Amino acid sequence: MIKEKDMFEEINQELMAFLDGSPTSFHAVENMKRMLDKAGFHRLLEGKRWELERGAGYYVTRNDSSLIAFRIPDKDYVGFQIMAGHSDSPALKLKANAELVVEKKYVRLNVEKYGGMLCAPWLDRPLSIAGRVAVRTLDGVASRLVNVDRDLLIIPNLAIHMNRKANEGYEFNAQRDLLPLFGGGEAKDGFLKLVAEEAGVKAEEILDVDLFLYNRMKSTVLGMNREFIAAPRLDDLQCVFASLKGFLAAEPGHSVPVHCVLDNEEVGSSTKQGADSTFLRDVLQRINSAMGRNSEEYLTALASSFMVSADNAHSVHPNQPDKADPGNRPFMNEGIVIKYSANQKYTTDAISGAVFKAICERAEVPYQVFFNRSDMVGGSTLGNISNSQVAVNTVDIGLPQLAMHSCYETAGAKDTWYLAEAARVLYSSSVCGDGDGAYHMLW
């Protein structure tokens, strides 16, 4: 039998490789595809007819930045058991004609903010560029992943001598303060060539790009007892990875397990591949049709479905513990955080909260509870947005972390494993409800 500590260590090593190898949502999806291919899943295309077989697993992507994987049970199914997270993280995004020359001595790159980032951590550290390029082909356009896998850029701070008030709070001007230094004057006209070289194409073949800056610092384990992990993009790739691990380890049950990863949560989810799109609904409806079910049977299945919206949560901060609710205080390494909000920014209610607690108990993993302080407005996530497209009983959860939306975040070394275990139980089971307020679990 493996010791508990080894299980945590093992999944953290895998998680850190996944985080380091996924500088953008496109790369996260590519890495998940690889894991699914290896596990024998079949790729479906939205533009082709779906023929699904019982006992087989499938996945489909949209925009190469969102992915949904599912497995059809051997027997007729009850409903869908869904866990949804997001593939994107706040970052600086390259604009077109990116090079800006300063007095013929410097070349900077023009960027804009993607999402609600903490700006300061992006300064004074090695950065690089990743994303996708759209290239001209003989008969149209094709997409290529790109990652300039070396220390390339830096956004330098202004010296304290030139702003004596720098430590009294600083208002970042995104157009002035956040442009990275790409090179000396001779770097001019080099940017697109470099990207083309990395993408394995000619610069003149590139018609357009979706490129982001990313932090070059790798994930690491730290703390006296190795109790924390620090890494880029823990929000929300930590949940995404745990969901996929649980999905791949699940036993076939009475429902269709659905691992769902959506892009653009950080900018409001209202893209064709976001939580506010038809992506999840389209996939569930196509499963329904492919299995020869009618629309009545689709709605019956939804009533017996359950969704876990998994997006990271705030741990009590060691330096500012008073920022957390006085009565509900989540800490790293103490389990999955169930998130509540009276104004329903989080979908959790007494029923979905109770169902999720039962899942955690079955998985033998700890859970804790998060509320915002009553005098603070918190963030939002994908649960309630997704519910306007596919209305199923939903709970909002996450793993406790610090420094959310920094480009280097901190989380607990035990919690990924806890969520992977809860996900495994979720995906192996069914939560049956016929709409009269009572639910029974088929484990």
What contacts 405, CB < 8 A, 6 or more positions away?
89, 90, 115, 116, 117, 118, 235
- In the complex with Co ion, the residue whose CB is nearer, 276 or 311, is 311
What contacts 27, CB < 8 A, 6 or more positions away?
21, 130, 145, 147
Burial of residue 118, with CB atoms counted within 10 A of its CB: 0-12 exposed, 13-18 middle, 19 or more buried: middle
Structural contact between residues 347 and 323, judged by C-beta atoms closer than 8 angstroms: no
- In the complex with Co ion, the residue whose CB is nearer, 117 or 119, is 117
Closest separation in Å from C-beta 70 to Co ion: 23
Residues 143-202 that bind Co ion (CB under 5 A): none
Residue bearing tokens 């009533």: 303
Is residue 409 a contact residue for Co ion (CB under 5 A)? no
Q: Which amino acid is at 432?
A: C
Q: Which residues are bridge partners to 24 per DSSP? A: none
Closest separation in Å from C-beta 68 to Co ion: 18
Check whether the bond before 236 is cis (ω within 30° of 0).
yes
Structural contact between residues 380 and 345, judged by C-beta atoms closer than 8 angstroms: yes
- x/- mask, Co ion, residues 295-334, rule CB under 5 A, reads ----------------x-----------------------
Closest separation in Å from C-beta 235 to Co ion: 4
Closest separation in Å from C-beta 121 to Co ion: 16
Euclidean distance between the first and the last CA atom of the chain, given in angstroms as a whole number:
24
- In the complex with Co ion, the residue whose CB is nearer, 57 or 274, is 274
Closest separation in Å from C-beta 195 to Co ion: 28
Is residue 396 a contact residue for Co ion (CB under 5 A)? no
Is residue 235 a contact residue for Co ion (CB under 5 A)? yes
Compute the distance between CA of residue 52 and CA of residue 68 in angstroms, rounded to an integer. 15
Backbone angles phi, psi at 46, to 5 degrees: -65, -30
Helices (H), 122-205: 174-177, 191-199
- In the complex with Co ion, the residue whose CB is nearer, 198 or 311, is 311
Whole-angstrom Cα Rg for the chain: 22
- In the complex with Co ion, the residue whose CB is nearer, 210 or 266, is 266
Compute the distance between CA of residue 164 and CA of residue 221 in angstroms, rounded to an integer. 35
Is residue 236 a contact residue for Co ion (CB under 5 A)? yes
**E-strand spans in 116-159?**
127-137, 140-147
Compute the distance between CA of residue 417 and CA of residue 138 in angstroms, rounded to an integer. 47
- DSSP secondary structure letters along 200-220: TS-GGGEEEEEEEEEE-PPPE
Closest separation in Å from C-beta 29 to Co ion: 16
Host H or E run for residue 183? strand 181-184
Residue count, binding to Co ion (CB under 5 A): 3
What contacts 46, CB < 8 A, 6 or more positions away?
60, 62, 282
Closest separation in Å from C-beta 380 to Co ion: 9
Is residue 30 a contact residue for Co ion (CB under 5 A)? no
- In the complex with Co ion, the residue whose CB is nearer, 210 or 311, is 311
Structural contact between residues 81 and 431, judged by C-beta atoms closer than 8 angstroms: yes
- In the complex with Co ion, the residue whose CB is nearer, 254 or 339, is 339
- In the complex with Co ion, the residue whose CB is nearer, 64 or 311, is 311
- In the complex with Co ion, the residue whose CB is nearer, 148 or 275, is 275
Closest separation in Å from C-beta 351 to Co ion: 24
- In the complex with Co ion, the residue whose CB is nearer, 89 or 429, is 89
Q: Which amino acid is at 73?
A: P
Closest separation in Å from C-beta 397 to Co ion: 12
What contacts 117, CB < 8 A, 6 or more positions away?
90, 91, 92, 405, 406, 407
Q: For strands 181-184 and 106-114, give the pairing.
A: antiparallel
Closest separation in Å from C-beta 405 to Co ion: 8
Closest separation in Å from C-beta 255 to Co ion: 26
- In the complex with Co ion, the residue whose CB is nearer, 30 or 311, is 311
Residues in contact with Co ion by the rule CB under 5 A: 235-236, 311
